[in-house]
Structure 1
Amino acid sequence: MINFTNLEYLKEGTIRQKEAYKVLNELNIIEDLEPYSPVLSGTIPINIDLPDSDLDVICYVSELNIFYQLLIHLYGEQPGFNIKSVIINDIESIVASFAYQDFPIEIFGQNIPTTRQNAYKHMIAEYMILKEKGDEFREQIIYLKSQGYKTEPAFARLLELDGDPYLSILQLHDKQFDI
């Protein structure tokens, strides 16, 4: 399995993954946010992205106010910069977004280790499914996404999962890793 906590895999990936690696390095995101265990999650790492897919960087943050101010300091001058504090699944979270070159970027912080955050768990479950199901399944996911489906609902539709697609994908992750 790919070590998604180390961005080196992007250097050998698709054109879009190589571009993502370059952008993350130009902005110094991984180094600047290193104390927060940043991980690129979402569709680009697992090669089911669309041309307008964003770079989702998740972080493990215990001091949300300090992180909030740091993001303003580091990226506040970037085009379209926006930052907010929100509650997601009863967990206080910081979400900053901005644009850089051809990428929308979102930086997300919660007081949960990055590899235990839902975004990471979704990505890992989807990666394992893609590995098992192959390229035709990957193309079907990309097609559904191009038709307006979000990632988890696209997986749920093709896998014929009932109920909340986000919860269903988390359950697949937890079952895979016996959590």
Structure 2
Amino acid sequence: MEYEAAISSSGVLEALRAFDPRVVGTLPLALSVPDSDIDIVCHAFDPVAFAEAIWRQFQACDGFRLYQWTSSGRPVVARFEWSGWPFEVFGDSRLVGQQHGWLHFEIERRLLALDDGRLRKAVLQQRSLGIKTEPAFAAVLGIDGDPYRGLLELASETDIQLRARLNSL
């Protein structure tokens, strides 16, 4: 089953509609590796209601886990399996458009759209070695330091600046 079909048949987007769910990560970017999961970010303006919505819909799923971080806004995270696909649902009190996971996804999507295919090939090569997505982008793009922060800093660059980076690959 394709990941889109798993999302649809799970009903996760419908169950979490009130929380602005958005699919992010390697699957929609076509950068997945065999152990990639389906990542969904949400605006959990009410963490208790968010956790209850996930619990009601997915508690019986294989591998179900639900927890809340103790720092950084205390996001709620759920993990479960549906139709052989691992899901990770992340609910943060910030609007989705302000969450780091969404911002990383957006800059990665922009970079891939501006590229002629060399970036995708190089990032996939890094991913095949077991490197996570953001560190893989950072390695290919020559971003020093924290790869997550480095990608966030790229988000403010214009398409012209990003193309210049890509042309140096």
Q: TM-score, normalised by structure 2?
A: 0.88
What displacement does 1:162 show?
1.1
User: What whole-Å deviation, never above 9, does each CA across 1:70-114 have from its counterpart, x for those lacking one?
Assistant: 2111100000000100045x2210000011123110111011111
Which residue of 50, 53, 57 maps to 1:74?
57
Q: Helix, strand or coil: the match of 1:149? A: coil
Which one-letter code corresponds to 1:77 in the other structure?
A
Which one-letter code corresponds to 1:45 in the other structure?
P
Residue aligning to 1:160: 142
8 Å contact from structure 1 (residues 52, 103) kept in 2 = no
1:9-158 equivalences under 5 Å are 19-87=2-70, 90-158=72-140
Aligned pair count? 159
- Identity in percent: 28
**2: CA distance, partners of 1:163 / 1:176:** 22
8 Å contact from structure 2 (residues 15, 53) kept in 1 = no
Name stretches of at least 5 consecutive residues in structure 1 with no aligned partner: 1-15
Residue aligning to 1:169: 151
8 Å contact from structure 1 (residues 54, 103) kept in 2 = yes
8 Å contact from structure 1 (residues 153, 166) kept in 2 = yes
Q: TM-score, normalised by structure 1?
A: 0.84
